[in-house]
Structure 1
Amino acid sequence: MAVMKTMLLSSMLVVSVQVQAYGWSGPEPFRLERLDGRSFMLNEESFLHRSSFQAMPVVRMQDTWADDGWYGTAGSTRSREFYVQSHLQKRVQFDVPMFVGVRFRRDEDLDGRFDRTLFGSGYASADGRLELGVWGDVQGSKEQIDLQVEGVWRPRANQWLRATVISPDAMYNSKTYDSSFYQRKPLTLHLAAGTSFAAGQQLYGFTNLNRQMEYHQPELEQQWTDKQYSAGIGWLLPVSANWQIGLQSQGLYGLRQQLQGDALVLQLRRQFSDTSLELQSRQSQRIDYWGGVRYLTLREQDQTQLTQLQMLEQRDEWMLYGGFAWNWRDWIRLKPALMLSYADIKGQRPDDDEPLDFSGIMAKLVPMVEFLLHQQSGAVIRVNPTIELHNLSFGGGNVQVHIPF
């Protein structure tokens, strides 16, 4: 039966590496609206909520964001906010070595929420091992069109190399209605790869480079610069016939500046890291187990003309988690998990009436239920009504879909 494998239980150490947020979801090109900053606030529970809304175990080699299907999560993080992560892709292979496709993504990162809708076409070999395509995020406003060139090589099963070059706002300088322009255009380079070895080891990773761009607004006498670099690596190592250890780490470094004439008006420096170390049951059984430790850190600093270096956000969070997956019925899998978090957080922005200052323990019960919708494809839907144990209240419900086409 093509039931999706899952796992859990145990605790352990963590290795901290400074690499990127949300990077496993595909390329993260520069967006001009990032200069406006986040439209939502991060509170003490934000990352715990998001962690409890993701499929477990955390450490797993996959290239899902580039596969045909619908994959995503939607859940409540606050009374007025949803966390939404959705990817939908469909490609059509013709009788000749050519494909056309559409790819939609709705997600969030540390700069805010965003949508991308790509239409693409290109060459695809008959055996599916090589693909070369041109994609575009086509919008009514030509100045906002992104151009994306992508190449994929799959030499064998469970092995891939994907290279992407993106030119955000490719026609901006010639199509904008005002006097704003890029003196140095943004450019994104993304590389992702994964491979499996005969002994059962799996190694995968990515890197995403947004080179420094320079954006001028003559009417406001303002100039902006922005750059961001990120990477991630994952490793699964079998330690016995029934168990394996997984390590996954990602992080980001970014620097953004706003100048008025020659004076520095704003400087935002960001560092983020997220690392998980897990023990997972390796073989698909009636009951699978997994568990581990996750550590994340976020540093955001702001500097203006009026203030010295000011900490906007300082967050350190350790999460201990564990659970199991039980095949209760042929089409129903129970996947309860428990998450325990210790967070040390300080945050303040100019418009904050109550600066964020929290240090303490939080816990969530995650009684997820997974329904098998289609045995052949492995399509599932997961219903996940979480419970906050530290204040005995509803912790936000969410629904996850994994539907390959």
Structure 2
Amino acid sequence: RSWQLQVELSGERTRRQFSLDEAAGTIPSRRDHIRVGAEAVHTAHRLQPGVGLHYFYLSEQGYTGRNLDEIADIRRQEPTLSGHFTLPLAQAVTLRPAIYLGAATIDQSYSESDDDDHRGFIGKLALPFEILLSRKDNAILTLAPTFYLHKAAFGGGNLQLHWPM
């Protein structure tokens, strides 16, 4: 067996009332979200290349937790195609570059800031470096910078430590 298929489905339907300031009363908030994805990886190849199809939907209104007292109205639909491979760099260091290409419809408005809408191409290049800290414990440190292709800009990054207990 040389191909591995993974399918993922997650979602959320939440209704809440937030009381941020006694004088302002409560703020009704709702969040509807779904994420669907399928990915195939060629496990018999030394680089383990993979491709995936993903869909993300979000509709959120009210307090989103972004800034105190900021009310938002967010609607996002993002179908995406992805590709990745694994590149061993040293005995304990691996680079897993991935590219994400899609067409997004994003309508976002915030009470305290400018609207942030986007329609059309979105792209992201992720360059996660995985460093094996302990083979015995399967402990891994990941440094993952990302770059936006549709904005030609640095997209941020994160640092993760996975140390199973």
Report TM bin, short chain.
Answer: 0.7 to 0.9
Aligned partner of 1:321 in structure 2 is: 82
Indicate which of 325, 328, 344 corresponds to 2:105: 344
Q: Residue 375 in 1 paired to residue 135 in 2?
A: yes
- Structure 1 contact 252–272 (Cα < 8 Å) conserved: yes
SS of aligned partner of 2:48? strand
- Evaluate the alpha carbon distance shift between residue 371 and residue 278 of structure 1 in structure 2; reply closer, same or farther with a 3 A threshold: same
TM value normalised by structure 2 = 0.77
How far did 1:242 drift?
Answer: 0.6
- Evaluate the alpha carbon distance shift between residue 353 and residue 393 of structure 1 in structure 2; reply closer, same or farther with a 3 A threshold: closer
After TM superposition, the runs of 4+ consecutive aligned structure 1 residues lying more than 6 A away are none
- Structure 1 contact 286–327 (Cα < 8 Å) conserved: no
Aligned partner of 1:83 in structure 2 is: none
CA distance in 1, matches of 2:74, 2:28: 14
CA distance in 2, matches of 1:396, 1:266: 31
Higher gyration radius (CA): 1
Q: Residue 362 in 1 paired to residue 119 in 2?
A: no
CA distance in 2, matches of 1:273, 1:319: 14
How far did 1:279 drift?
Answer: 0.7
How far did 1:353 drift?
Answer: 4.3
Pick the structure with more helix per residue.
1
The two structures, once aligned, show a CA RMSD in angstroms of 2.5
Indicate which of 264, 268, 278 corresponds to 2:39: 278
Q: Residue 331 in 1 paired to residue 115 in 2?
A: no
How far did 1:347 drift?
Answer: 2.3
How does 1:187-202 map onto structure 2 within 5 Å?
Answer: none
Q: Residue 288 in 1 paired to residue 48 in 2?
A: yes
Unaligned runs of 5+ in 1: 1-240, 259-264, 303-310
Aligned partner of 1:252 in structure 2 is: 12
CA distance in 2, matches of 1:300, 1:328: 42
After superposition, give the CA deviation of every residue in 1:25-70 in whole Å (9 maximum; x if it has no partner). Answer: xxxxxxxxxxxxxxxxxxxxxxxxxxxxxxxxxxxxxxxxxxxxxx
Indicate which of 38, 51, 59 corresponds to 1:299: 59
Q: Sequence identity, in percent?
A: 30
How far did 1:277 drift?
Answer: 0.9
Ranked by relative contact order (alpha carbons within 8 Å, sequence separation 6 or more), the top structure is 1
